[in-house]
Chains A and B, each alone.
Chain A
Amino acid sequence: MTRALLAAALCAVAAAGSSLWPLVAQTAAAQSRAADATLPRLPDGRPDLQGLWLKSAGGFQGLFIGSLDGTNFAAPGGGGRGARAGGGPPAAPRYQYTPEAEAERQDRLKRGYEDPEARCHLPGVPRALDQPGGLYPVQIIQDEKYVALLHEAMHDVRIIPTDNSPHPSNYWAWDGDSRGRWEGDTFVVDVSNFNGRTWLDMAGNFVDENEHVVERFRLLDRDTIQYEATVTDPTVFVKPIEMRFTLKRVPPEQQILEYSCLEGERSLQHYTDEDGGKKRRAK
């Protein structure tokens, strides 16, 4: 076993040739390779997450107008809209608001048209990836320093450094500040510094500026990424929310398109009173 590892390490170093990838990473690479030789990898041994990916189903926004209720959470029992479509009772909520936040949520529930995404604002995390299933792909480009997520939806961009560097102190953003690291074959991203404007879905579920997310990207096979996110926000939720869904590789003959939202936005009118929004809300 030790010999196999050593041989793999030597191979990795030899294959590296004149490239500038550090030797330490090469050794780690060899070990990972021993762990799962079937995954595509970059020269530093990290799983190659690159490609065009599409969420297949699930997440907070599993339905077009989705919500935290009843979509497929990681919690035992799974929930999932499949269960609801089958005629069973709605899955029990996997989240619990603090009393103040619950009142706020009820208020926002009546004001769905104020969803910032309807105003073409950045969706935040995890909503950036948690778009309605099968609609908007994400292009991943990766090197030894960054994993970059180019989202079609809202042309949202996250260029995530992989050096586990600290969050800045004077930065507040819709997408927060993302710092990544590799834990074996799993890409773990710590996201903080949110500006507090984010809604988690189109049903008034929200977080504030105390939101903190840990995301885990794991390549299950060549064409599947498992995505997990743990959302913590002590001033909004009593305990952390867990979510999990998979991204499937998009066939190479398809390409990412442009999503120009603000430039010719026509969606907001669906939320307004003039357009029947009020009537719908009253139902």
Chain B
Amino acid sequence: MTPSRIVRVVLSSAAMAALLATAVPALMAQNDSRPAPFAPARLWDGKTPDFRGIWQARGNAEQNIEGRIVVDPPDGKIPYKPEALARRQQNYRNRATADPSLKCYQAGVPRATYLATPLQILQSPGNFAIVYQDNHAFRVFHPEGRPHFDATDWWMGDTRYRWQFDTLIADVVAMTDLAWLDHAGNFHSSEFHVVEKYRMTSANTLEYEARMEDPVVYSRPWTLRTTLYRVTQPGARIIEDECLEDANGVRHHVSPSDPRNLLKADYSKWKQGARP
């Protein structure tokens, strides 16, 4: 074998690997064979990965997840069925009033994760819950092994989880078709099924991945992925986010640090009481 021939063989296997690399991501997204990039601290049982803390997404994915955090399909577009795409376009046109989030409804899964407001992970051995600042929504994650509570449609769904090494894998069903995935009107039906993966990629970053499945709305499953950053400011906390009605009965977010939140500020209005 001449030296030049050896080089050619090496090159062609490299080309092979490159080809494989482009074909495989979809598979990897499902089986996640990637090595754990970071070993998180443990809870006091010495086993359970410790994800506790306040976490927050950056960027503006909440405005429109397409082209931002959708990683599969590679073009970043949600694979809608044609009639569903028409509905999304209609949602988009009406988003200024039709977005359920504007009515101070709970954001749903996975939208609550990448809102502009933070979330807090509460944990102890055997317990895992996420509290979202937005509209004080929360999810209690139940260990897998018992079947889903799937008798109704909820805003935050029913979550069963397991640990796969240092990755938390959550299976979410029972979600209402009234929720949106972002402010751009991306949506799902009540056949929506989400598989979430949470894993720490450094002490202060938590990777979030969600694989979406919905035979009514999407032509195939698709995946989004984003990073949540630990909120490290001392004394940082989840604050109360409760909307208040204006004179027209429309609800608006009011910060607890805004004096308008005090009853005194609009007490007369409240006392006179616009009758329902």
Task: Give A contacts to B, CB under 8 Å.
Answer: 17-19, 21, 42-43, 50, 107, 111, 113-114, 119, 121-122, 139, 141-143, 146, 148, 150, 155-157, 159, 161, 170-175, 195-197, 208-209, 255-258, 260, 262-263, 268-269, 271-273
Interface of A, helix, strand, loop or mixed by DSSP: loop
Task: Give B contacts to A, CB under 8 Å.
Answer: 44, 46, 52, 100, 103-106, 120, 122-124, 127, 129, 131, 135-138, 140, 142, 149, 154-156, 176, 178, 237-240, 242, 245, 251, 256-257, 259, 261-264, 267, 270-271, 273, 275-276
Residues of the A chain whose Cβ atoms lie less than 8 Å from the Cβ of B127: 50, 141
Q: Which of B44, B131, B261, B270 contacts A173 (CB 8 A)?
A: B261
Residues of the B chain whose Cβ atoms lie less than 8 Å from the Cβ of A209: 262-264
Residues of the B chain whose Cβ atoms lie less than 8 Å from the Cβ of A256: 140
Residues of the B chain whose Cβ atoms lie less than 8 Å from the Cβ of A172: 256-257, 259, 261-262
- Is there an interface contact between B273 and A143, defined as CB atoms closer than 8 Å? no
Residues of the B chain whose Cβ atoms lie less than 8 Å from the Cβ of A150: 129, 131, 138, 140
- Is there an interface contact between A122 and B276, defined as CB atoms closer than 8 Å? no
Residues of the A chain whose Cβ atoms lie less than 8 Å from the Cβ of B124: 42, 50, 141-143
Residues of the A chain whose Cβ atoms lie less than 8 Å from the Cβ of B100: 263
- Is there an interface contact between A262 and B104, defined as CB atoms closer than 8 Å? yes
Least CB distance from B147 to A in Å reads 11
Interface of B, helix, strand, loop or mixed by DSSP: mixed
* Whole-angstrom CA separation of A141 from B121 in the bound complex: 11
Total A-B pairs in contact (CB under 8 Å)?
Answer: 116
Q: Which of A43, A148, A208 contacts B44 (CB 8 A)?
A: A43
- 13 examples of A-B residue contacts, CB within 8 angstroms: A43-B44, A139-B129, A150-B129, A155-B135, A155-B138, A161-B237, A173-B240, A173-B242, A174-B240, A195-B263, A196-B267, A256-B140, A260-B105
Residues of the B chain whose Cβ atoms lie less than 8 Å from the Cβ of A173: 239-240, 242, 256, 261
- Is there an interface contact between A122 and B242, defined as CB atoms closer than 8 Å? yes
- Is there an interface contact between A157 and B273, defined as CB atoms closer than 8 Å? no
- Is there an interface contact between A257 and B149, defined as CB atoms closer than 8 Å? yes
Q: Write the chain B residue with the least CB distance to A169.
A: B257
Q: Which of B103, B122, B154 contacts A148 (CB 8 A)?
A: B122
- Is there an interface contact between B154 and A157, defined as CB atoms closer than 8 Å? no
Give the 6 A-B residue pairs with the shortest CB-CB distance, closest first.
Answer: A196-B263, A173-B240, A258-B154, A173-B256, A263-B105, A141-B122
Whether A155 contacts B263 in the complex (CB less than 8 A), given A119-B245, A260-B155, comes out as no
